[in-house]
Each structure stands twice: as C-alpha cells, then as structure tokens.
Structure 1
Amino acid sequence: MKNTPPSIIALDGPAASGKSTVGRRLADSLGFLFFDTGIMYRAVTWIALEHDMNLHDETAITELAQNAQIDIRQPTQNDGRACDVVIGGKDVTWDMRSGNVDANVSVVSAYAGVRKALSEQQRRIGMRGRVVMVGRDIGTVVLPEADLKLYMDASAEERARRRYKEIVDRGEAADYDEILKKMIERDRLDSTRAVAPLRPADDAVILDTDTMNEEQVYTHILEMCK
C-alpha cells in the first residue's frame, strides 16, 4: 500500500453507525464498487415477510436465502439510494427500509445457513478487488484478508437519532423512543448470536463516530488509504 490505495476495504459496525454513508463516499472517491452487504439480509427478510413465512423457521428461511434471486444494480433514481435492489422484477429498495424489516432482520441474519449462503456471494464479489464492502462481519468472516479493516461505532442513542432523522427526512412518521428500543435490541441480537457475532476484527481500526462527524471520519479513512 505504498503508493496505491488498498484494493479490498472492509467496513464493519452496528446499525446507523454511519458506515454506509462514509463507505459510499469513500468508494466514489476511489472509483471502487460500494457494496453494503446488509442489503442481502434485508432482501431475504423482506421476501419472507411478504410471503408470511415464519421467521423462526430456520430451515425454511435458510432455503429461501439459498434460492433467492436478488439483483443489485446501479441506481436508476436520484432519491438517495446507493443502488437498485430488484427482486422478481420489482424495485424494493425503499420497501426494505421499513420498520418491520428493521425489527426482524437480525433474526434472519443470525441463521448459520443464511449467513453462509449470502457470505459466499459477498466473498466472490469482494475478492475481485477495488471494493468497499460494508457489513457486520466483513473483516472477521467474509474477507479476513482485506487490505484495510475499519470498524465504525457510536452510542445507541446517537444511532437512533440518525435513524429517526433519516425517516423524518423522507416525510414519514417516526418515534425516537421506539427506534432506540429496537436499536438496543438489535445490538443485543447482533453481538450475542452464535454465528459471526458483531465485533471488530483484531486488526481493525476502530472509529468512534460519536466524537467525529462524517467529514472527519471520511477524511481520516481517505488518508489511511493513501
């Protein structure tokens, strides 16, 4: 990495820590692919909810993840999205940001079979290089050989505030206290699951975004890449 940026950048952290915003900006600056792996888990959760599946039926949800045809495309609308998520010919990019998906995605993503099925797809994309891959287990499980591993963190209160603002800015109703409650429960599920729990890689650079704004985090990471 003497005179060139790292080819594979793993960016992990809890929900609403700012990793997707910074990761997308970083990818644009470097000319890299931006791949937020949470999209895949949200997609499987959304499909399961749409078909009234029992989310606690691990076998059925795992089979769904193995067979799901999820297409990720360059954004076709200038509405803040980082990409188009298309399932069965339908654009579900914003549908997957619903509160119902938020409340259930950690259950789905905790299943070993689901994580294995989706991690294999993520790894194939990541190993091509020139990628900023964002998730919760990229540096620890999906791409442990990443050139640069980053872990962005923030308090549950700050992250809930950000998610609240995101929803309100879209013109939708939101309850901060309810968002905070769900955020804390999601953190608990993500960090205590048996398979690939949320944690920074041993060699990850940890960034506390409670004390850094987006510009400071972005500039700091960009300097590390150089």
Structure 2
Amino acid sequence: MKKIVIAIDGFSSNGKSTMAKSLAKQIGYIYIDSGAMYRAVTLYCIDNHLFNGDKLDEERLHNDIKNIKIEFHLNKEGLPETYLNGKNVESDIRSMEVSSKVSIVSAIPFVRHAMVALQQEMGKLKGIVMDGRDIGTVVFPQAEMKVFVTADAEIRAQRRFDELRSKGDTQTTYEDVLENLRARDHMDQTRAESPLVKADDAILLDNSYMTIDEQMQWLLEKFKQITTN
C-alpha cells in the first residue's frame, strides 16, 4: 500500500488532534501536531517576557526564532508529546494563557515560514498525518488526502471546557472558553498570512454530532479509498 500525506485542517477545539493521533496510530503513520508547534513558540514568548499585555515584541522574537527548537517524542503510551528546547511542554502549551495568545503569534509571517519549513521537512518521506490550519493549503498543497473539520462553536467550546476541567482547571468558565474560541476563529480566518480556509479538494467533515468511533470509521474509509485506488 502506497504511503501518503494526510492533511487535516479546521477550526480550533473540534477534536482534530485526537482524530489525527488515532488515525495515525491505526494505520501506522507518524502524527505531527502543527498547532502544538505554534503553541510552543507562544509559550516561549510568554516565558521569555516577549508579551506586554497582548502586544508582542516581534523584533526580539525574530532574533530568537532560530534558537527555538521544537521536537516530538513518543511517550510510554506511544503518543507524541511536544518538547521545547529539550523540555516536555505538552501540558503547558494547552493552558488558557497560551490559547489566548497563540493566534497573535501564529499570524506573524516569519513565524509561519519557520514552522512551515520545519513541517515540510518532517513530511518528506510521507507516511504522516498532520493537523492544523493551513496544512492542506500551504504546507502540503499536494497532500493525497485532505480533510477539513468543522463543528458548531458552542459544541467546540463545551469540548474544550470539559478538557480543561478534566485537567484540574476550575477557574475558567464556559463563557471564557466560548469567547476565546470565537476570537481565535475570527483571527484565524482573517489573518493576512495563510488564513484558515478549506482547500478546494478537501473533504468536509462536520463532527458536531459524531462519536469518536464514527469519526474514525469515516476517516478509515476515506483513507482506504485513496490508498487502494
């Protein structure tokens, strides 16, 4: 069976990463979370005091970007976790503080160029599943399988809220999450550099009312159709 590149794009908090990880594991591919890469850069900016409120010191980040090393290593369960300059930051990059600033960082052209170059290098040998905002349009426009995932904003906010509660966050409210999510949607869709859009040849998946099993069955069927033709 031929190896391909699978690009999964879509809005935030719609379960893209979960489905991409599961798909990669089932078909024996490598999973790469492109969103985690932008979150890691955002965490670097926060930790190194490059933010003054929502204003980012882009000049300092431009000077530092070459020193920001992002890697993925498998944990004991065989799932990839994000490392920033040698430190496991998988939990840190999922905080609301990072979520509230990642769209600012990811809209910067030189940040996107650096991350896209790294992502393309990771995908040279194919056999990968990568999810994000511009994988099928910018990073891998020739990907053999492209999926664009969407879901109702309120449903996505509830999923994200439940995730935060499960990780012990008792301060963030559902309204906080919904407001943040809508703001991120707007920024992702209207930014000048690589805005979030559905590729013309992407398959649309609205998972608002689908179970995890139903999503996986749908994805596996599409994968088999593409790789066996």
| TM value normalised by structure 1 | 0.92
Distance 2:35 2:125 in 1: 19
Q: 1:6 to 1:157 in 2, by over 3 A?
A: farther
Could you tell me whether the CA contact under 8 Å between 2:150 and 2:206 is conserved in 1? yes
Alpha-carbon distance in 2 for matches of 1:82, 1:188:
31
**Residue 49 of structure 1 corresponds to which residue in structure 2?**
46
Residue 198 of structure 1 corresponds to 196
Count of matched residue pairs: 220
| In structure 2, distance between residues paired with 1:117 and 1:16 | 24
Q: Where in structure 2 are the equivalents of 1:34-113 lying within 5 Å?
A: 34-54=31-51, 55-76=55-76, 82-113=79-110
Taking structure 2 as the reference length, the TM-score comes to: 0.91
Q: Which runs of 4+ in 1 moved over 6 A?
A: none
The Cα shift of 1:5 comes to: 6.1
Q: In 2, Cα distance between the equivalents of 1:161 and 1:199?
A: 23
1:130 aligns with 2:107: no
Query: Unpaired segments of 5 or more residues in structure 1?
Result: none
Superposed CA RMSD: 1.6
Matched, 1:24 2:16: no
- Tell me how far apart the structure 2 counterparts of residues 89 and 67 of structure 1 sit (CA, whole Å): 12
Contact 1:11 1:133 in 2 (8 A): yes
Out of 140, 145, 149, the residue aligned to residue 143 of structure 1 is 140
Question: How many Å apart are 1:67 and its aligned residue?
Answer: 2.5
The code of the aligned residue for 2:61 comes to I
1:177 equivalent to 2:147? Answer no
For residues 156-182 of structure 1, give each alpha carbon's deviation from its aligned partner in whole angstroms, at most 9, with x where no partner exists. Answer: 111110001111112221310000000
Aligned position for 2:164:
167
User: 1:7 maps to what in 2?
Assistant: 4
CA distance in 2, matches of 1:6, 1:161: 36
CA distance in 2, matches of 1:87, 1:19: 22
Which amino acid letter does the alignment assign opposite residue 117 of structure 2?
Answer: E
State the alpha-carbon separation in 1 of the partners of residues 140 and 187 from structure 2: 22
Structure 2 segments unaligned to the other structure (5+ residues): 225-229
Q: How big is each residue's C-alpha offset from its partner over 1:37-85, in whole Å with a ceiling of 9 and x where there is no partner?
A: 0111011100110011135233322333332122221124x5xx94232
SS in 1 for 2:82: strand
Cα distance in 2, alignment partners of residues 18 and 37 from structure 1:
14
SS of the residue 2:42 aligns to: helix
Which residue of 1 is the match for residue 185 of structure 2? 187
The answer for the alignment partner of 2:221 in structure 1 is 223
Comparing 168-177 with 106-115, greater Cα deviation is found at: 168-177
Q: Secondary structure at the match of 1:17?
A: coil
Fraction of identical pairs, as percent: 37
Shift of 1:224: 0.9
What do the CA deviations read for 1:79-128 (whole angstroms, capped 9, x no partner)? xx942322343221101111100000000000000000110000111121
Aligned twin of 1:153: 150
